[in-house]
Amino acid sequence: MHTKSKILIVDDHPIFRKGLTQLINEEGDMEVCGEAEDVTEAKKALAELSPDMAIVDIGLKDQSGLELIKYSSEKYKNLPMLVISMHDETLFAERAIRAGARGYIMKQEMTDNVVQAIRQVLKGKVYASENMIQTMMGKITSRTAEPPANPVDLLSDRELEIFQLIGKGYSRKEIAEMLFISVKTVGTYRENIKRKLNLKSASELMKHALEFLQGN
C-alpha cells in the first residue's frame, strides 16, 4: 500500500473547501488532512499535521496568502505550495511564485486541471498557465524594462495587501491590528500607494481600492 500524500487546504470559503476536498479525496494517491480559513489557523495546522503539500488562496480572512507562503517557505523549506485563487494571475501568479509557491491556478479554470496541477507541484515542478509562462519568460528575456501595464504592479506585496484591505473598508487602526504593525506605518504605506498610483486624496484611494476588488 502506498501512503497517500497529505494536503492542507487554506481558503476562507467553506463551500470551496468542501468541493476541493471531495475532488482530492476521490483520488487514490492523495487526501485532505486538514483545512484552515486564515493565516493563524494555517500556521497551527502546518505545525500539527505536517502536510506533504498546502493549497493556499491569496485572499484570506486575516492576512494575505502571500504572507503565509513566505512564512511557510522559510519555516518548511521543502513544503510544496499551490495557489488556487479568484485573483487575476497576471497580477498575483508571479508574486506567489516569488514568495515560494510552486504553482498558480485560477478558480475559474481549475475544474479540468486541478488534480494535474497538484500532482505536478507534489513532484517539485512548477505549474502555471501557458499565458503566465510566456509572460514570465518575456520578462526574463526582455532587454529593456517596460513599465507595467497595470499600475497596481508597482505596489509591493505589503502595499497590495493594505490596498485590498482599504477596499474592504477597514480603518487604519483595524489594518494595523490585523497586520501587527503601527497605525503610523499603515499611514506610510497609504502614502506610498497613493504616490505610486498617482492618487491625490484618501477618497480617491478608497474609490480605486474598491474598484480593484470588484475587478478581481
Q: Which of 139, 163, 180 is the last residue of a domain?
A: 139
Please tell me whether residues 165 and 129 are part of one structural domain: no
Average per-residue pLDDT for the chain: 89
Please tell me whether residues 165 and 117 are part of one structural domain: no
- The domain spanning residue 119 has which CATH number? 3.40.50.2300
Assigned domain for 125 exists: yes
Please tell me whether residues 120 and 200 are part of one structural domain: no
Written as nine digits, the cell of 93 is 501568479
Q: Report the number of distinct structural domains present in the chain.
A: 2
Please tell me whether residues 168 and 128 are part of one structural domain: no
Q: Is the pLDDT of residue 133 over 80?
A: no
Assigned domain for 144 exists: no
Please tell me whether residues 130 and 181 are part of one structural domain: no
Q: What is the pLDDT of residues 70-111, one digit of tens each?
A: 999 999 999 999 999 888 788 888 899 999 999 999 888 766
Please tell me whether residues 131 and 158 are part of one structural domain: no
Mean pLDDT of 38-53: 96
Assigned domain for 35 exists: yes
pLDDT at residue 151, as a whole number:
84
3-state secondary structure the chain: CCCCEEEEEECCCHHHHHHHHHHHHCCCCEEEEEEECCHHHHHHHHHHHCCCEEEECCECCCCEHHHHHHHHHHHCCCCCEEEEECCCHHHHHHHHHHHCCCEEEEHHHHHHHHHHHHHHHHCCCCECCHHHHHHHHHHHHCCCCCCCCCHHHHCCHHHHHHHHHHHCCCCHHHHHHHHCCCHHHHHHHHHHHHHHCCCCCHHHHHHHHHHHHHHC
Please tell me whether residues 76 and 165 are part of one structural domain: no
Name the pTM for this structure. Answer: 0.81
Please tell me whether residues 91 and 51 are part of one structural domain: yes
Please tell me whether residues 24 and 82 are part of one structural domain: yes
Assigned domain for 146 exists: no
pLDDT at residue 50, as a whole number:
96
Q: Which of 139, 159, 190 is the last residue of a domain?
A: 139
Q: Which of 75, 110, 139 is the last residue of a domain?
A: 139
Mean pLDDT of 192-207: 94
pLDDT at residue 40, as a whole number:
93
pLDDT classification of 144: cutoffs 50, 70, 90: low
> Among 3-12, 41-50, 108-117, 167-176, where is mean pLDDT lowest?
108-117
- The domain spanning residue 196 has which CATH number? 1.10.10.10
Residue 60's SS3 state is coil
pLDDT at residue 44, as a whole number:
97
Q: Are 115 and 27 in contact (CB under 8 A)?
A: yes
Please tell me whether residues 43 and 75 are part of one structural domain: yes
Q: What is the pLDDT of residues 156-183, one digit of tens each?
A: 999 999 999 999 899 999 999 989 999 9
The residue range of the domain holding 159 is 151-215
Assigned domain for 91 exists: yes
Mean pLDDT of 190-203: 95
State the CB neighbour count (10 A cutoff) for residue 59: 19
Q: Are 107 and 86 in contact (CB under 8 A)?
A: yes
Please tell me whether residues 88 and 155 are part of one structural domain: no
Please tell me whether residues 31 and 117 are part of one structural domain: yes
Assigned domain for 76 exists: yes
pLDDT at residue 113, as a whole number:
84
